[in-house]
Amino acid sequence: MTHVTERTTVDSLQPLDDELREIRRHLHSNPELSFKEHATSDFVAERLTEWGYEVHRGLGGTGVVATMQVGTGAKRLGLRADMDALPIHETSGLPWASKHEGCMHACGHDGHMTMLLGAAKHLSITKSFSGKLTLVFQPAEETGYDSGAKAMVEEGLFDQFPCDMVFAFHNHPGAPQGQLLSREGAFMAAGDRVLLKVLGVGGHAARPHQTVDTVVVSAAIVMALQSIVSRNVAANDTAVVTVGRLRVVDALNVIPAEGEIGISVRSFDPGVRALLQQRIEKICRSTADAYDATVEIDS
């Protein structure tokens, strides 16, 4: 007997509106950082179990995977959302604002989880598909490098839960409500990080000539990095090189011997990605050398 599927529209989800709003506000109020999504993981797992999914815990530490087989179809579809928040203090003042100091769902992962939970509940009710559905709730997307996705895959995600196709998504602030955005080719960038330790010679602020000032060196490196996208990446390609961390000593009368720079790097094309790594490393080393400093690079 052929399994009959029904067309799903936005109106089909209207009965879940109040429940999903409550879920989203709960998740927003209780954010957790990367690989620490313990209460979030529990919340997600409890809902999926309640709706009839077979729930698996522990991949990637706090990851949740849920499966449901409907009909006799052989196709295997995966849907994925991320769970972690950012180390940002929320100042919105909303009733459902973060209850955790210095932690906020500022990137919208509370919304991502709510959307996937909404799809999960709708499909558990209608069972309007034939085949195997796999839902993946991934920890630690925000870490970029050594992320929860990498951990889950290395721990056998697709060996245990093979999929013919996996769909992931991300909110896009500024896009009209009710629209889905897509395009041919890569849609989400590769995210890399580069950590630098700048090594100089510390000393007293009154005797800078006896030092190799890592504040000056670090500032020069930050400014030199700004030329990579504008002068090394072709105009029809795209990339982002953002310095998100710059740390030196706090004392005003001390020239520090060390500085720290953290760089977020994003690209779509493997060739551009390789170029970015090459240029970042060369600029950092040569700029430091020009000031008689050195750098240690972890990329």
Residues 20, 83, single domain; the answer is yes
Residue at 178 is within a domain: no
Residue 1 pLDDT: 38
* Catalytically annotated residue among 37, 90, 110, 141: 141
Determine, yes or no, domain membership for 180: no
Considering the domain architecture, whether residues 145 and 200 belong to the same structural domain is answered as: no
Residue 1 lies in a domain: no
What is the pLDDT, as a whole number, of residue 145? 74
- Active-site residue, from 84, 90, 142, 269: 84
Same structural domain, 147 and 54 = yes
pLDDT at 248: 92
Three-state secondary structure along the chain?
CCCCCCCCCHHHHHHHHHHHHHHHHHHHHCCCCCCCCHHHHHHHHHHHHHCCCEEEECCCCCCEEEEEEECCCCCEEEEEEECCCECCCCCCCCCCCCCCCCCECCCCHHHHHHHHHHHHHHHHHHCCCCEEEEEEEECCCCCCCCCHHHHHHHCCHHHHCCCCEEEECCCCCCCCCCCCCCCCCCCCCEEEEEEEEEECECEECCCHHHCECHHHHHHHHHHHHCHHHHHCCCCCCCEEEEEEEEECCCCCCEECCEEEEEEEEEECCHHHHHHHHHHHHHHHHHHHHHCCCEEEEEC
Rg (CA), the chain: 24
> Could you tell me if 21 and 159 lie in one domain?
yes
Same domain, yes or no, for 152 and 225? no
Q: What is the pLDDT of residue 12?
A: 86
Task: Indicate whether 132 and 33 sit together in one domain.
Answer: yes
Same domain for 77 and 222? no
Q: What is the CATH number of the domain that holds 43?
A: 3.40.630.10
Domain that includes residue 270, residue range: 190-298
CATH number of the domain where residue 282 is located: 3.30.70.360
Whether 173 is covered by a domain: the verdict is: no
Spatial separation of the C-alpha atoms in residues 19 and 281, rounded to whole Å: 50
Structural contact between residues 16 and 23, judged by C-beta atoms closer than 8 angstroms = no
Active site residue 281: no
Identify whether residues 150 and 28 lie together within a single domain. Answer: yes
30 with 69, same domain: the answer is: yes
Q: 152 and 212: one domain?
A: no
Is 184 within a domain? no
| 19 catalytic per annotation | no
Whether residues 135 and 69 fall in one domain: yes
pLDDT digits (tens), the chain, 299 positions: 345 556 788 888 889 999 999 999 999 999 999 999 999 999 999 999 999 999 999 999 999 999 999 999 999 999 999 999 999 999 999 999 999 999 999 999 999 999 999 999 999 999 999 999 999 999 999 987 789 999 999 999 999 999 999 999 899 989 998 888 888 888 888 889 999 999 999 999 999 999 999 999 999 999 999 999 999 999 999 999 999 999 998 899 999 999 999 999 999 999 999 999 999 999 999 999 999 999 999 98
In a domain, 182, yes or no: no
pLDDT score for 5: 59
Length of the chain: 299
Q: Quick check: is 288 in a domain?
A: yes
Number of domains in the chain: 2
Looking at the structure, do residues 127 and 225 belong to the same domain, yes or no? no
